[in-house]
Amino acid sequence: MESTIKIKKIKEWTIGGTDKPIIISGPCSAETEKQVIQTAKQLKANGIEIFRAGIWKPRTRPNSFEGVGSLGLEWLKQVKAETGMLISTEVANVKHVYESIKAGVDMLWIGARTTANPFAIQEIADAIKGIKIPVLIKNPVNPDVELWIGAIERFYNAGITNIGAIHRGFSGFEKSIYRNIPQWEIPIELKTRIPEIPLICDPSHIAGKRKLLQEISQKAMDLNFDGLMIESHTEPDKAWSDAKQQITPMELKNLLDNLIIRQEIPKGISFETLDDLRFRIDMCDDEMLKILEKRMKLVHSIGLYKKENNMTILQPGRWDKILKRSVEKGSKQNLNRHLITQIFKTIHQESINEQTKILDHES
């Protein structure tokens, strides 16, 4: 269901131009005045117009570096004065908001932990009410698109229309090559629900390591993201926080130079072939819906049979056979094993739901 939120188009923002992709870069944390100014000047020399730095750093555990605090805002002001760059930082409470606004910060972003807390989001939204400043909202730590949209709605209801979303991946228990699992379907769902919202990718927090930044950045561009927020430091290996995911300003330039920027609707091409292929896909979708309808009717009949014969809904042996058979057959047809598994798990769960309704219904 599409949201009723009407976000201002990104070209109406005053955030340093409209060329795609919009790049926001700077160190994970502001550490020293020298580090902040040097990083900013090198980024500016490489064409970056929006500087980011963490002033207050929410960390998972105490006794780790949690930012220099308000002192760092003075360094950001100096960046703005000496380079003309726009400055941005993360805010997690009302105090952060007031101090950032007072320091002339041009853009605020909301961290993943804060996004997950509706009370904190509402307090921050109320504090910003009436102030024309862009606000970027990171996804919550867990893959919950409703929680993400809820945070966006709270700012929108406070009169903020310069709103963007940042995809930084999601925490998970399973082992992964990523620091935070991308789960690209979540930001895609967000964009489907709120088509106008500018979508920024944060490859640094998804990757957790430098070698994955190019791949993730390219994936974001291929998915038509509006920009990237990438952490950059003059001496990444000496960074006081998240050293492994930061790159130098020159490495950032090389990354951006190697990006392939695609167009949603390129000029001067014929859509006849594309329209034909899309028409065929629509026909396939219609066929799938008819097959699903037929399958669910059979599931209904099975549910009636199980009720009549006092049988359990879940038959593990049968389900294992279905899944194994489907995955093996799909693999022979060059279909992704993960795709087949997810599709059949979803169908199986709906079959369980249908049979449960039948067994629970009184005769």
What's the mean pLDDT in 49-63?
A: 85
Mean pLDDT of the chain: 90
Q: What is the pLDDT of residue 340?
A: 92
Class of domain 10-257 as given by CATH: alpha beta
Report pTM.
Answer: 0.79
Does 14 have pLDDT greater than 60? no
Residue ranges of the chain that CATH labels 3.20.20.70? 10-257
Does 269 have pLDDT greater than 80? no
Q: Calculate the alpha carbon distances from 357 to 60, 292, 318, 360 in Å.
A: 43, 18, 20, 5
Fold that domain 272-360 belongs to in CATH: Chorismate Mutase Domain, subunit A (1.20.59)
Q: What is the pLDDT of residue 264?
A: 74
Tell me the pLDDT band of 11, cut-offs 50, 70 and 90.
very low
Does 268 have pLDDT greater than 80? no
Tell me the pLDDT band of 362, cut-offs 50, 70 and 90.
low
Q: What is the pLDDT of residue 309?
A: 92
User: What share of the chain has pLDDT > 90, as a percent?
Assistant: 77
DSSP summary character for residue 211: G
Most confident of 236-250, 274-288, 347-361: 236-250
Q: What is the pLDDT of residue 361?
A: 77
What's the mean pLDDT in 277-284?
A: 88
Residue 165, strand partner residues: 137, 199
Does 10 have pLDDT greater than 50? no
User: What element of type H or E holds 230?
Assistant: strand 227-231
Long-range (24+ apart) CB contacts under 8 A made by 113-116 are: 113/58, 113/141, 114/58, 115/139, 115/140, 115/141, 115/147, 115/148, 115/151, 116/140, 116/141, 116/142, 116/144, 116/147
Does 12 have pLDDT greater than 90? no
More confident: 175 or 197:
197
What's the mean pLDDT in 268-290?
A: 84
What amino acid is encoded at 227 in this protein? G
pLDDT tens digits for range 60-90:
677 778 889 999 999 999 999 999 999 999 9
Dihedrals phi, psi of 158, to nearest 5 degrees: -90, 5
Residue ranges of the chain that CATH labels 1.20.59.10? 272-360
Q: What is the pLDDT of residue 3?
A: 58
pLDDT tens digits for range 235-252:
999 999 999 999 999 999
Tell me the pLDDT band of 5, cut-offs 50, 70 and 90.
low
| 8-17, 131-140, 206-215, 312-321, range with the lowest pLDDT | 8-17
What's the mean pLDDT in 200-208?
A: 97
Q: What is the pLDDT of residue 9?
A: 52
Q: Calculate the alpha carbon distances from 226 to 201, 220, 229, 264, 311 in Å.
A: 8, 9, 10, 11, 53
DSSP states along 135-148: EEEEPPSS--HHHH
